[in-house]
Structure 1
Amino acid sequence: MSSLSSPAPSLSVPRIRRHPRALVAAVVALLFSGGGVMMHAESQPVVLALLAAFVLAFGVSDRTQIGREIAATCGDYRGVANGMALLCALILIVLFHADHYALLMLSTVAIFSTACIALNLQLAFAGIANFAGAAFFAVGSYTAALVTAYTTVPRTFAPLIGAIVTGAMGLVLLLPVLRTRGHYAALVTIAFGVLLRTWLEVNDVLGGPQGLKIGSFSIMGLDFARLKQIGPWSVSFYLPYATLSVCMFGLVFILVRRLENSWVGIALDVVRSDETAAAVFGLSIRLWKVVGFVLGNAIIGMAGALYGMMNGFVTPNGAGLGDSLLMLSIVVLGGIGNLWGSVVAALIILEVPEKLQSIQEFRLLLFALLVLVILLFRPGGILPRPVRDLSRFIDGAPK
């Protein structure tokens, strides 16, 4: 009787858990392989098939036991997943070493993912809705243009200077933001973006509506724009930018992840969740909002500077509200607070319209519908943020 009443052992869980690291590495490699094929694909049916495969994969991960187990295993072995993701990105760079378009798309996705990580830091951690992300992105690009054109500062430091200038500008904007609450704070950032774009358009010193040219990035005498050969191999001039973009994303990812898992991230979460309770427990609301907003804008400015140097120019159109909403759409679609979700969403939002030229005219409409569908049927986004586990801070809890 005891054998009949005991539950049947699960077969799927032991099989999946038998080699968890290999499983995680295989899943990450499969996802990056699909992204690489999409970057290289020229046929619209192939792109649509890959999109359908992605949708099916995420549906299986939600609706089936084995899918949920695989997703949980990937969450338990994040270090393996992160390391494998970096390795796969570098492999894609090597495979596409002579493909201008694929490397340009890879660089663009990495740079915008970096900027959206910063928006996650502001929105998901500090609770500040920044609707001027594209404006700060453009400030970084304009800073790089001025540094490369009018100063003798090495171009290697242009992204760092862009980060400093953008962070300082964010600190100035934070003064009225701290005096408002809720949607009023969001309106302040919207007004800043509109004012900045208008000022750039009428400012002849900064090129007016035509914008400015930006010098290419260089390091230790190596000009990225002139790199066309590595030994016997011909390479794209986007190759060094793709490598640098992936490295920048990796460093920012590690920084923000460390902050999230530290007492700084806990303080930011408390301030976002309940300002009254945070103040009761002695947390400074202003201090932590300053930390989140300024650091986020500095990262956005650094990404904008590198993006401008890669493209070679910047115009006021890049500071518009439409581009800011595009960046916020990446954050919401990917999953607010999930850093890898921004990568997946950036790949979909930035690359798919380029591959499906027939929908270019309806790009913004499709983005709006996509965000609405996500909010209705998957409010947490493609990759929802996992619940924070604070058991390691409890006395006697297993470490």
Structure 2
Amino acid sequence: MVSTPPSRAPSPVPGLAAAAAVVGYAILVLAAEEEMAVGALLAAGLAIVIAAGFFGLLRPAVRSFSERENLLMIVFFSGLVVITGYFHDDHFVLLLIATLIVYLIVTLGLNVQLGYAGVLNFAGASFFGMGCYTAAVLTAHTAIPHLLILAIGGVVAAVLGSVLIFPVLRTRGHYSAVVTIAFALLFKTLLEVNDALGGPQGMAVGGMRILGWDFNANLELGGDVELAFYVNYVVFGLVLLALAFVLVRRLERSWVGLNLDAVRLDQTAAACFGFNVPRWKITAFTFGNFLAGLAGAYYAMMMGFIAPTNFTFGDSLIFLSIVLLGGMGNPWGLVVATAIVVLLPEKLQFLQEYRFLLYASLVILILLFRPDGLLPRPPRAYFPGLGRR
């Protein structure tokens, strides 16, 4: 009997080389100031990716990380640290990176709702806004530690979201989507007529402070090296993002994620096999809203000011566009989609006025040519005994 030798794991070198190239390319795009230069870099990058895919040059890099997600996470966060260090005194670029991190945390929550449990939530910006206004009120009227305010912002969004989930559970398909749309419109209206929350003028928010460390103060490293204060927000945001990312991946690969998949794929069949469908929908909805509220509280303290115009129905559509573009159920797809949605209009200012047209066009193109998104979720590996009801 001839034994087959064990297959060797692919070398990580192609993946690391590709990651280094991506980081260098990102620095070039972010450093470019002229819109023509940015457009040329984007066109060149797209052409290189298409050519590399056509000739099969991307496969070794993909295989490098296919069985090494921990390495991929280390490379991703290290790349963001390198980019942050390169632009250590550029307030605009650092704010873009911090905003990208906030959007990633929000869309990770929406991804759990839609990509794992199949719960369509058109009110993502509303729960994000709940976290923002919670931080604004607590920083203005209490002495609660700001680290705790982040958690409270998430809890407030999760608890208030539990009120919305019950009418969502009583409807299906387009009807449940209409419920969340109505809630998003109602939330913005309530903010505008509530004078205690600043009305349409909005509210000022205190900056982040942890253990006496003022996040709104520039950092002196000695000599002529000074770090812009946004470095504080980027670094701490990376910590929050890493925790959220690990938590979501753990949830996906656990028996909880398996049950959420069953509910998403066929509610009737899941109920026939004894799954408590409402409970798992509530779990996904609550968890996703918690992440949105936490990100909102952090965003409010970073920006220093919030207003109802920050939490419109259009902002909810942007969050959903990121999930659809990236690929429902795949957190790594969110990274690519968020970079496109957040960075592209900022670097190409003429697109600002047409950003919703851009997002709608991208979603339509993706649905036509890649209905599963740019990076679709790979098939789940089944492990006997994993599921629980």
TM-score (norm 1): 0.90
Deviations 1:61-84 (A, max 9, x none): 654434334323332222211111
Tell me what 1:7 maps to. none
Tell me what 1:320 maps to. 312
User: How far apart, in 2, do the equivalents of 1:167 and 1:90 lie?
Assistant: 31
User: How far apart, in 2, do the equivalents of 1:259 and 1:104 lie?
Assistant: 30
Q: Which runs of 5+ in 2 are unaligned?
A: 1-6
8 A contact 1:39–1:105 mirrored in 2 = no
8 A contact 1:24–1:80 mirrored in 2 = no
Q: CA deviation at 1:368?
A: 1.1
Tell me what 1:276 maps to. 268
Q: CA deviation at 1:18?
A: 8.3
Q: CA deviation at 1:32?
A: 2.7
- Bigger shift: 277-286 or 119-128? 277-286
SS at match of 1:367: helix
Tell me what 1:83 maps to. 74
Deviations 1:314-347 (A, max 9, x none): 1111221100001111111111111111111111
1:267 equivalent to 2:259? Answer: yes
8 A contact 2:15–2:60 mirrored in 1 = no
- Bigger shift: 67-76 or 238-247? 67-76
Going from structure 1 to structure 2, the CA distance change for 1:379 and 1:60 (only over 3 Å counts) comes to farther
Q: Which residues in structure 2 correspond to 1:224-235 (within 5 Å)?
A: 224-232=215-223, 233-235=225-227
Tell me what 1:302 maps to. 294
Q: Which amino acid aligns with 1:199?
A: L
Tell me what 2:214 maps to. 223
Tell me what 1:3 maps to. none
Tell me what 2:87 maps to. 96
Q: Which amino acid aligns with 1:301?
A: G
Deviations 1:140-182 (A, max 9, x none): 1000001100112112221111001001011111111111111
User: How far apart, in 2, do the equivalents of 1:302 and 1:291 lie?
Assistant: 17
User: How far apart, in 1, do the equivalents of 2:303 and 2:108 lie?
Assistant: 21
Going from structure 1 to structure 2, the CA distance change for 1:58 and 1:269 (only over 3 Å counts) comes to farther
SS at match of 2:216: helix
Tell me what 2:19 maps to. 28
Q: Which runs of 4+ in 1 moved over 6 A?
A: none
- Bigger shift: 29-38 or 234-243? 29-38
SS at match of 1:147: helix
User: How far apart, in 2, do the equivalents of 1:374 and 1:244 lie?
Assistant: 33
Q: Which residues in structure 2 correspond to 1:1-399 (within 5 Å)?
A: 20-60=11-51, 62-232=53-223, 233-390=225-382, 392-393=383-384
Identical columns (%): 44
8 A contact 1:44–1:355 mirrored in 2 = yes
RMSD: 1.9
User: How far apart, in 1, do the equivalents of 2:132 and 2:153 lie?
Assistant: 7
8 A contact 1:271–1:285 mirrored in 2 = yes
SS at match of 1:112: helix
User: How far apart, in 1, do the equivalents of 2:94 and 2:235 lie?
Assistant: 9
TM-score (norm 2): 0.93
Going from structure 1 to structure 2, the CA distance change for 1:353 and 1:73 (only over 3 Å counts) comes to same
8 A contact 1:60–1:67 mirrored in 2 = no
User: How far apart, in 1, do the equivalents of 2:322 and 2:280 lie?
Assistant: 24
8 A contact 1:61–1:70 mirrored in 2 = no
User: How far apart, in 2, do the equivalents of 1:377 and 1:239 lie?
Assistant: 39
User: How far apart, in 1, do the equivalents of 2:40 and 2:253 lie?
Assistant: 37
- Bigger shift: 113-122 or 40-49? 40-49
- Bigger shift: 307-316 or 331-340? 331-340
8 A contact 2:209–2:215 mirrored in 1 = yes
8 A contact 2:10–2:64 mirrored in 1 = no
Q: Which amino acid aligns with 2:234?
A: A
8 A contact 2:88–2:94 mirrored in 1 = yes
SS at match of 1:46: helix
User: How far apart, in 2, do the equivalents of 1:56 and 1:112 lie?
Assistant: 27
8 A contact 2:123–2:316 mirrored in 1 = yes
Q: CA deviation at 1:212?
A: 0.6
Q: Which amino acid aligns with 2:286?
A: V
User: How far apart, in 1, do the equivalents of 2:385 and 2:38 lie?
Assistant: 48
Deviations 1:72-112 (A, max 9, x none): 33322222111111111112222221111111111011110
Q: CA deviation at 1:22?
A: 1.9
